[in-house]
Structure formats: structure tokens, C-alpha cells
Structure 1
Amino acid sequence: MMLGKLFLSSAALLLAGGVAMADPIEGNWKTESGATAQIVPCGGSYCITLKTGQHAGKKIGTFQSAGGSQYKGKITDPANDKTYSGKGTLSGNSLKMGGCVLGGLICRNQTWSRI
């Protein structure tokens, strides 16, 4: 009986620890256009989906952690469905998102705010 209680207590701590270890990029973000984007884990990466606005429901990116507060992957402009090399830099409750074409010669950046 005592061993069973110890096992259940250990399992509860492990589950609580897993929740506490969520990556800082996960969550809901307000884009510069005013839409809400949600970033969630998906298959070893982080998927970015618009939740509100004109393009609600559209997946607009997939990022992987690049160490520290840096992320890299692909980002799609929901207005024209063009996909670019993307990067993200997290700083507190701000996420600077960028996408580039032509090997980084032409880039667009936005800063999102955590909701």
C-alpha cells in the first residue's frame, strides 16, 4: 500500500514537471495585424496557426528551437500563400518574427506580443 502511494506521488510530480517545462514560445500571440496566432508543439517542432482574423484557421509556419531564445523554420504569408525561410527571437513577452527570400537579401519582420 505504501509503495502504491509512493508511485502515485512520483507519477504526479513527473506530470507536473512536464507541464512546467513547456517551451517559452508556446502560447497565443497578437500579430502586428491584430490577429491571434497560436504556437503549439507538433512532431518535434512548433506549429503556428492563425486563430482569429481574415485568415483564421490557416497554418502559417513551423519552427524548431535553434538554442536559447532563437527559432528557425518556415513561415507562410497568409495573404499570398508564399513560404519563406523564417526565424524568431523571443525576448520576454515579445517575439520578433522574420521571413526572407533570395538567400536573405529581402526580409520582412514583425514583432508579436504574448497574449
Structure 2
Amino acid sequence: MQKLMLAAAFALAATAGQAAEPIEGNWKTASGETAAIGKCGSVYCVMLKTGKHAGKQIGRLAGKDGEYSGEITDPAEDKTYSGSGSVSGNSLKMKGCVLKILCKSQTWTRL
């Protein structure tokens, strides 16, 4: 029993010491464009680098430890929604919602 508790303590310490996945970097969107996410002041800005709307900022997110929230804009319709992002490895799950009820998600891939 003592060995089991010691092993559990080591496993817990190992996971607590791991750094959260960063959101900063270049991402391939679900529609194939490249988006860059980087610090802009105290938040992270999402800027399209390629495609029809290249150069347009489409989001502002705040957070840490792989979980972020803020606003996301659909550049095709120029409508802004409450949004969130969750980083897991090389995937970023982006979600935009109207009234926190009607939501649409897509997964971006780290480049």
C-alpha cells in the first residue's frame, strides 16, 4: 500500500510540474487559412495571415493554462460572438456562441 501511495504522489507531482500548452503561434483554421495568435497588451489577438481576409483581426482571448475566452469574429459575415479556445497538444478547439446557447465549434491545427 505504501508503494502505491508513493507512486501516486510521484505521478501527481509530475503532472503538476508540466507547463500548459501555449496558444501563441500559427494555426491552420478549419477553412484552410493561417491564423496567428500572439500577445497584444494583456490579451491574445487572433489575426488572419492568409486568405480573403488576410490582415484582419478576428479575435481577442484572455486566459491561461490552455483555456481561453473572449470574442471571435466570423470574417465572412463580420459578426462577433462570445468565444473560447482550448489547447490540447497541436490542436486548438475554437468555439463561438450566440447567447451562450447556439454554439459552433471548429478545430485548428498548430503549424
What range describes the TM-score normalised by the shorter chain of this pair?
A: 0.7 to 0.9
**1:105, 1:63 → 2: CA distance?**
19
Structure 1 spans left out of the alignment, 5+ residues = 1-20
Structure 2 spans left out of the alignment, 5+ residues = 1-18
Computed over aligned residues only, the root mean square deviation of the Cα atoms, in angstroms, reads 1.4
What TM-score, normalized by structure 2, do the two folds share? 0.79
Which runs of at least 4 in structure 1 moved beyond 2 Å after TM superposition?
none
**1:58, 1:68 → 2: CA distance?**
26
**1:69, 1:27 → 2: CA distance?**
13
C-alpha distance after superposition, 1:34-64 (max 9, x if no partner): 0000001001000000000111111000000
Residue 72 of structure 2: which of 70, 75, 95 is its match? Answer: 75
* Alignment match, 2:105: 109
C-alpha distance after superposition, 1:12-33 (max 9, x if no partner): xxxxxxxxx9x71000000010
Q: How does 1:1-115 map to 2 (within 5 A)?
A: 24-65=22-63, 67-102=64-99, 104-115=100-111
What TM-score, normalized by structure 1, do the two folds share? 0.77
Secondary structure at 1:24 match in 2: coil
Identity of aligned residues (%): 62
TM-superposed deviation, 1:68:
2.1
* Alignment match, 2:13: none
Secondary structure at 1:54 match in 2: coil
Number of positions where the alignment pairs a residue of Structure 1 with one of Structure 2: 92
**1:105, 1:25 → 2: CA distance?**
25
**1:114, 1:69 → 2: CA distance?**
14
**Structure showing the higher helix proportion among its residues:** 1
